[in-house]
Amino acid sequence: MATKRVNGEGCIRKKDATHWEARITLSRDPVTKKQKIKAFYGKSRKEVKEKMEAFLDELEEKKNSYVPPEFTPEDENDMLLSDWLETWHKTYLADVKDSTKANYRNIIDNHIAPVLGDYPLSKLKAPVIQEFYNQLKEDKGLNPKYIKNIHGVLHSALDKAVKVEITAKNYTSVCSIPKVIEPEIKPLNKEELERLFAALKGEEFEDLILVDLFTGLRCGELIGLTWDCIDFENGIIHVKKQLSIQRKKGGGKPYWSTLKNGKTRIVLPAPFVMNVLKHHKAVQAAQKLAAGSLWDEGDFPNLVFCHANGYHYIQPTIWKEFQKVLKKAGLEHHRVHDLRHTFAVNSLKAGDDIKTLQENMGHFSAAFTLDKYGHVVDEMRKASSNRMQKLIDSMSM
């Protein structure tokens, strides 16, 4: 049976018939929370007690310069991960969008630094990182996609540290993260669209939803659209920017941000869309006249879609109002983003090729578009094959 030592010095126990063991707790791992134990062995209680006391005496003598066992003396000049993350975020992200940098900042401050920040880079090994990822899922309950984002930030930061020779290896490359399962695409079918159109009549957000449905614009692009980007003469919409909100606790401020893939694009919608926009411009002009001095565009003037007093929308407003319209139409839950998917599916069924759809959607590559909507193309090919077979069967050969 173990015998506790006085003054918190540890404990001594008889290990077997001929051996004794002494154990003391040195520290607690910041990630696993497990205690780090130092053990001493000998053939008598006296022997292990002397070894343990000698070790403790040595620690006492070196207490002003002692480095914890997990950080050996040769690592004294190691940069801490938290310090490197600050340097990386400030110095090496010149080509990254402001919105992306803000997301990185949020991930660093809320997830990476609080757990791994005190580790020297040389001690940031695979088991430590893997345990961190596991905790994100098991203890914090974060979804796989967000864990992937956290992994991406840490991987990029450590990858740069290797390239600039701050550390020798990036161990995130050998760690495992939960598999991301993409949510099922749920475009609205013909019957659902008819019910949606009927429910939209006279609604405040009728024009906005119709434009979204027949252009495939992202929600941020839609609420960030300005009238100078609408070319009525040539029937063109120039998509140049989006209206975003900083991700901060308590709510962030709205700001202009670049598009998701960093490239501007033009969309040539059906004439129906341009007619909707012309109607909406007339409605907005009447609202502005009625508001008079109360018309307030704030920092975001000339918006196509805004409140009746000129003030900008935020994405949660659009999400909330869209659910109201769906309820009125008697339809099940759909995301606003499903309007974008509906546009993509209908474009393919109308005969658009993948490259055209990629450009209209603002995807980074045609390969991404094909991967996203390839099942629709497969269905169309199968339907084409069936039609051809019916033609063959109808012929007398």
| pLDDT tens for each residue of 351-391 | 888 899 999 999 988 888 888 887 776 776 676 676 677 76
Express each pLDDT in 209-254 by its tens digit: 999 999 999 999 999 999 999 999 999 999 999 998 876 666 678 8
Predicted local confidence at residue 10, as pLDDT: 62
**What's the average model confidence in pLDDT over 137-144?**
88
Tell me the backbone φ, ψ of residue 328, rounded to 5 degrees: -60, -35
CA 189 to each of CA 83, 104, 336, 337, 357: distance values in angstroms, whole numbers, following the listed order: 52, 38, 15, 15, 19
Q: Which residue has the higher pLDDT, 319 or 23?
A: 319
Model pTM above 0.85? no
Place of tokens 């630094």: 113
Q: Is 97 exposed, middle or buried (0-12, 13-18, 19+ CB in 10 A)?
A: middle
Q: pLDDT exceeding 70 applies to what percent of the chain?
A: 86
Q: pLDDT at residue 186 above 80?
A: yes
The alpha-helical segments, DSSP class H, found in 63-138 are: 81-91, 98-107, 113-116, 126-138
Q: What distance in Å separates the CA atoms of residue 72 and residue 203, rounded to the nearest whole number?
A: 68
Mean pLDDT of the chain: 86
Q: What distance in Å separates the CA atoms of residue 3 and residue 9, rounded to the nearest whole number?
A: 11
Predicted local confidence at residue 387, as pLDDT: 67
Going by pLDDT thresholds of 50, 70 and 90, the confidence category of residue 84 is: very high
Q: What distance in Å separates the CA atoms of residue 137 and residue 141, rounded to the nearest whole number?
A: 5
Contact of 238 with 232, CB cutoff 8 Å:
no
CA 166 to each of CA 77, 104, 170: distance values in angstroms, whole numbers, following the listed order: 11, 20, 11
Going by pLDDT thresholds of 50, 70 and 90, the confidence category of residue 1 is: very low
Predicted local confidence at residue 388, as pLDDT: 73
Q: Which residue has the higher pLDDT, 192 or 388?
A: 192
Pick the range with the lowest mean pLDDT from 31-40, 42-51, 162-171. Answer: 31-40
Express each pLDDT in 102-118 by its tens digit: 889 999 999 999 999 99
